[in-house]
Amino acid sequence: MLASFPLVALFLFQAFAAFIPSAELVPIGEGELFRRQASSSLTPSATSTTKPDSQCTNSPFTRQCWGNGFSITTNYDSTWPVTNKVVSYHLEVKNTTLAPDGVPRVVYAINGQFPGPTIRASWGDILEITVTNSLTTNGTSFHWHGIRQYKTNHMDGTNGVTECPLAPGKSRTYRFLCTQFGTTWYHSHYSDQYTDGVVGTMIIDGPATSNYDIDLGAMPITDWYYRPAFELAPLVQRGAFPGGPTGSNILINGTNVSPNGTTGQYHRTSLTKGKKYRLRLINTSTNDNFKVGLDGHNLTVISADFVPIVPYTTQWIFLAVGERYDVVINANQAIDSYWLHVIPQRGCSKNAVTNALAIFSYVGAQSPVPSNATRSNAPPGADCSDPNDKLVPYVKLNVPDNYTIPAKSRLDVGFAIVQDKANQTLFQWNLNFTAIVVPWGTPTLQYVLNNNNSYPSNMNLISLPDANAWSYWVIQAIPTIAPPIPHPIHLHGHDFYVLGAGSGIFNNSQTLKYKNPPRRDVAMLPASGYLVIAFITDNPGAWLMHCHIGWHIGLGLGAQFLEVPDKIAGLGVGSEFNQVCSDWNKYYDTALFDQEDSGL
Ligand SMILES: *[C@@H]1O[C@H](CO)[C@@H](O)[C@H](O)[C@H]1NC(C)=O
Ligand SMILES: *[C@@H]1O[C@H](CO)[C@@H](O)[C@H](O)[C@H]1NC(C)=O
Ligand SMILES: *[C@@H]1O[C@H](CO)[C@@H](O)[C@H](O)[C@H]1NC(C)=O
Ligand SMILES: *[C@@H]1O[C@H](CO)[C@@H](O)[C@H](O)[C@H]1NC(C)=O
Ligand SMILES: *[C@@H]1O[C@H](CO)[C@@H](O)[C@H](O)[C@H]1NC(C)=O
Ligand SMILES: *[C@@H]1O[C@H](CO)[C@@H](O)[C@H](O)[C@H]1NC(C)=O
Ligand SMILES: *[C@@H]1O[C@H](CO)[C@@H](O)[C@H](O)[C@H]1NC(C)=O
Ligand SMILES: *[C@@H]1O[C@H](CO)[C@@H](O)[C@H](O)[C@H]1NC(C)=O
Ligand SMILES: *[C@@H]1O[C@H](CO)[C@@H](O)[C@H](O)[C@H]1NC(C)=O
Ligand SMILES: *[C@@H]1O[C@H](CO)[C@@H](O)[C@H](O)[C@H]1NC(C)=O
Ligand SMILES: *[C@@H]1O[C@H](CO)[C@@H](O)[C@H](O)[C@H]1NC(C)=O
Ligand SMILES: *[C@@H]1O[C@H](CO)[C@@H](O)[C@H](O)[C@H]1NC(C)=O
Ligand SMILES: [Cu+2]
């Protein structure tokens, strides 16, 4: 029976293997039916308890399945389940004092927590999230990082682009469909506010490319500053910290010991030997990029941002700001405690801590603290680059290659020191020679609704009027005009295709990958190098593209694409948009503080 049903063999193999062999996964071409798993009885393995059934439902054995005909093979760019289920949350931002690593400071916590509550829904659900701003001297706006916001641009939470900031004391409700699944985070887009705590994680449950028993949930990793960002950012603008302020610590899921070890506590995770665990790593940093590894164990990487990939195994995963990787850990080592290392990469980080730690302990371990004698992984390489050749999307999609990228599609990253109106030194980062500044009180969508095309040049708006057209961009770091550091480039509203990244100036002679290239929503622009991306203009709206280093976007490293504006009025931008703006403009007339940077 096994011999005549290779699929059975495949699924038996999956149940026992650390990962699905890529050869079994790649060749699902267009028109091929999704492979349902065998319905014959399988002996549950030591690592799984649920048998697959003939309807292909999701279980520890069959993570590729989802149900009702949806699975990991579904092209979620065009198809998703419609559950009609509305999942509601209420998030309140409030100024409070917390001590995540034992050292107290002012934190703009969400529902009293830092990081904020995890928002969790399933593929195809509608999320309805009411946000209340209980800060007294700041607006806020909530961006759902990586969520495509298909035809719901006005729910993107980008103040000055898709909405006015939410005034103190006010509430608004974001409502959007979860067309994708996987792991992400949400954060304030109001200047550097997320650095001060306005951040939380999001999980959209769906199928996966590798089996696992237990979902450990999200593990956000961030740099942490004892001085609040609202104090640091004005100093950054004046050039007080070339290369950015030095982080005081690194927090793993919101906790750590202080750098001298006297206070705070390690993040702890408990593992049962023989089980497989899914861990959702998220880099929620302001500045630092990390490599993450667990002593004695491999990480099987199953998704990059929201895009499921053909699993691959590595000891260290590089995590740029805003990037996410879901990994599966096989608890198949000796019963003991092990260090998880988070290493800020020299060359793309600045932190007092050089090796942040968390503890993974097997149930029954003798010591709750790892002994140092054995099982440490070899240190990671010092690079700051995405493992693009390893990121093979599971659903294969290609980009037309019969197009030569013209010079006008090149957007240069630059840096300048200028004088502001008061003749004070002002550091600026720019994209295509403009440091973006968005007008909080008249966001781009307001211009669109008013049919006003007189955009101030510092809104750095790039018009993409044609619907469903391929759009190609070269982001080019210019060594002669900008310090040679890498930048994590993030685009709202799309998973873009990463056609290539490398050092030097792009001139169309470099090889690009058009056949199933990596897709994601953040990609690393190498220091003094280029990043070539493409996307289809299928989502009308104003979409910000920016460097995700908080200090850099604050100083202007961004642009916005105005995509198919003719179709925006029809999206149902409602009365709440106008209410939020009139509340904001009323508040801002007498606000204590002015906008002091790009606003983003
Ligand atoms: C938060 O509280 C601090 C200390 O009381 C105060 O200086 C700051 O203005 C408050 N911030 C906001 C945004 O309300
Ligand atoms: C936000 O609040 C902080 C703390 O009161 C203040 O320093 C900063 O200027 C405010 N920023 C804006 C733009 O409102
Ligand atoms: C991180 O903390 C949250 C809240 O305490 C928890 O739900 C989640 O499981 C933790 N993540 C990990 C990976 O332990
Ligand atoms: C350790 O660091 C904490 C936080 O910075 C500080 O309050 C404490 O005084 C330090 N203790 C020692 C012994 O250095
Ligand atoms: C997290 O992202 C930030 C911003 O791109 C980056 O500077 C930092 O290095 C990333 N951290 C890790 C651990 O990758
Ligand atoms: C980790 O992966 C490497 C390369 O695939 C392999 O040689 C090694 O045995 C694996 N280690 C564990 C603990 O699974
Ligand atoms: C044990 O290893 C950890 C992580 O590498 C390190 O921080 C710590 O100082 C080591 N302890 C000793 C006693 O060597
Ligand atoms: C490029 O190829 C696509 C199909 O792959 C086709 O639709 C398009 O017209 C071609 N464009 C040019 C400029 O030849
Ligand atoms: C800034 O400098 C210029 C030229 O030196 C001078 O004309 C102007 O008055 C100065 N402005 C302020 C606000 O000091
Ligand atoms: C269009 O926008 C510009 C820039 O904000 C503004 O000066 C102008 O009054 C607006 N025009 C209309 C008709 O609203
Ligand atoms: C880049 O800037 C130049 C000079 O300001 C401008 O002519 C060009 O249109 C801009 N490129 C795009 C794509 O907007
Ligand atoms: C294009 O760039 C490559 C790599 O930097 C270089 O070797 C080549 O000479 C350049 N070609 C042209 C036509 O400039
Ligand atoms: Cu940057």
pLDDT tens, position by position, 236-286: 888 888 777 889 999 999 999 999 999 999 999 999 999 999 999 998 887
Alpha-carbon dihedral sign for residues 94, 98, 104, 108: negative
Q: Would the pLDDT of 3 be above 50?
A: no
**Closest alpha carbon to 457 in 476, 434, 477:** 434
pLDDT tens, position by position, 115-143: 999 999 999 999 999 999 999 999 999 99
Report the separation in Å between the CA atom of 435 and the middle of ligand 11, taken as the mean of its atom positions. 13
pLDDT of residue 81: 94
pLDDT tens, position by position, 155-202: 999 999 999 999 999 999 999 999 999 999 999 999 999 999 999 999
Q: Which atom of ligand 1 is nearest to the CA of 138?
A: 13
Q: What is the dihedral of CA 366, 368, 371, 375, to 10 degrees?
A: 90
**Residue 433, number of CB atoms within 10 A of its CB:** 12
3 contact partners, CB below 8 Å, separation of at least 6 = none
Q: Are 47 and 14 in contact (CB under 8 A)?
A: no
Measured from the CB, is residue 403 less than 6 Å from ligand 11? no
Report the separation in Å between the CA atom of 533 and the middle of ligand 3, taken as the mean of its atom positions. 34
pLDDT tens, position by position, 416-425: 999 988 898 9
- Residue count of the chain, please give it: 600
Pairwise CA distance, residues 8 & 4, whole Å: 9
pLDDT tens, position by position, 528-575: 999 999 999 999 999 999 998 888 999 999 999 999 999 999 998 989
Instruction: Using the structure block, give the residue that is written with the tokens 């999230």.
Output: 129
pLDDT of residue 299: 95
pLDDT of residue 36: 31
Residue whose CA is closest, atom 8 of ligand 11? 408
pLDDT of residue 49: 30
pLDDT of residue 32: 30
Domain residues of the chain, as ranges? 407-588
Q: Note the Cα 159 to chain centre separation in Å.
A: 18
Report residues near ion ligand 13: CB below 5 Å: 487, 547, 549, 552
To the nearest whole percent, how much of the chain has pLDDT over 70? 88
Report cis status (omega within 30 of 0) of the bond before 486: no
Looking at this protein, which amino acid is placed at residue 468? N
Measured from the CB, is residue 590 less than 6 Å from ligand 8? no
Angle at 187 between CA 182 and CA 289, to 5 degrees: 75
Q: Are 102 and 153 in contact (CB under 8 A)?
A: no
Instruction: Using the structure block, give the residue that is written with the tokens 């961006």.
Output: 143
Instruction: Using the structure block, give the residue that is written with the tokens 């969508």.
Output: 445
Residue 53: pLDDT band (50, 70, 90) is very low
pLDDT of residue 480: 87
Instruction: Using the structure block, give the residue that is written with the tokens 């599966």.
Output: 328
Q: What Rg, from alpha-carbon coordinates, does the chain have? A: 24
DSSP state of 445: H
Q: Note the Cα 420 to chain centre separation in Å.
A: 33
- For range 379-383, the mean pLDDT: 72
Looking at this protein, which amino acid is placed at residue 416? A
Strand 356-362 and strand 86-98: the pairing is unpaired
Residue 22: pLDDT band (50, 70, 90) is very low
Q: Note the Cα 128 to chain centre separation in Å.
A: 20
pLDDT tens, position by position, 456-487: 999 999 999 999 999 999 999 998 888 888 89
pLDDT tens, position by position, 87-118: 999 999 999 999 999 999 999 999 999 999 99
Q: Would the pLDDT of 35 be above 90?
A: no
**Residue 31, number of CB atoms within 10 A of its CB:** 5
Residue 371 token pair: 């002994």
Measured from the CB, is residue 453 less than 6 Å from ligand 10? no
**Closest alpha carbon to 328 in 213, 203, 219:** 213
| Phi, then psi, of 231 in degrees rounded to 5 | -90, -40
Residue 306 token pair: 């929201």
Within 6 A (CB) of ligand 12 lie 504, 507, 509
**Residue 11, number of CB atoms within 10 A of its CB:** 21
Q: Which atom of ligand 8 is nearest to the CA of 402?
A: 1
pLDDT of residue 50: 33
Reported as type and span, the H/E element at residue 293 is strand 290-294
Report the separation in Å between the CA atom of 504 and the middle of ligand 12, taken as the mean of its atom positions. 9
Pairwise CA distance, residues 580 & 522, whole Å: 29
Q: Would the pLDDT of 37 be above 60?
A: no
**Helix, strand or coil for residue 594?**
coil
**Residue 117, number of CB atoms within 10 A of its CB:** 15
pLDDT tens, position by position, 301-349: 999 889 999 999 999 988 776 678 999 999 999 999 999 999 887 766 7
Query: Which residue among 97, 136, 195, 231 has the greatest number of ligand 1 atoms within 8 angstroms of its CB, and so is best to mutate?
Result: 136
Residue whose CA is closest, atom 9 of ligand 1? 137
Beta bridge partners of 304: 307, 325
pLDDT of residue 436: 97
Pairwise CA distance, residues 335 & 171, whole Å: 49
Residue whose CA is closest, atom 10 of ligand 11? 432
To the nearest whole percent, how much of the chain has pLDDT over 90? 71
DSSP state of 148: -
pLDDT tens, position by position, 4-13: 323 323 332 2
Pairwise CA distance, residues 599 & 307, whole Å: 29
Q: Are 359 and 266 in contact (CB under 8 A)?
A: yes
CATH level 3 topology of 407-588: Immunoglobulin-like (2.60.40)
Pairwise CA distance, residues 283 & 294, whole Å: 16
pLDDT of residue 500: 96
Residue 59 token pair: 């279980």
pLDDT of residue 348: 66
Pairwise CA distance, residues 513 & 531, whole Å: 12
Query: Which residue among 297, 298, 374, 390 has the greatest number of ligand 6 atoms within 8 angstroms of its CB, and so is best to mutate?
Result: 298
Any idea which ligand is nearest the CA of 419? 9
Q: To the nearest whole number, what is the mean pLDDT of the chain?
A: 87
Q: Are 328 and 311 in contact (CB under 8 A)?
A: yes
Instruction: Using the structure block, give the residue that is written with the tokens 């009609």.
Output: 84
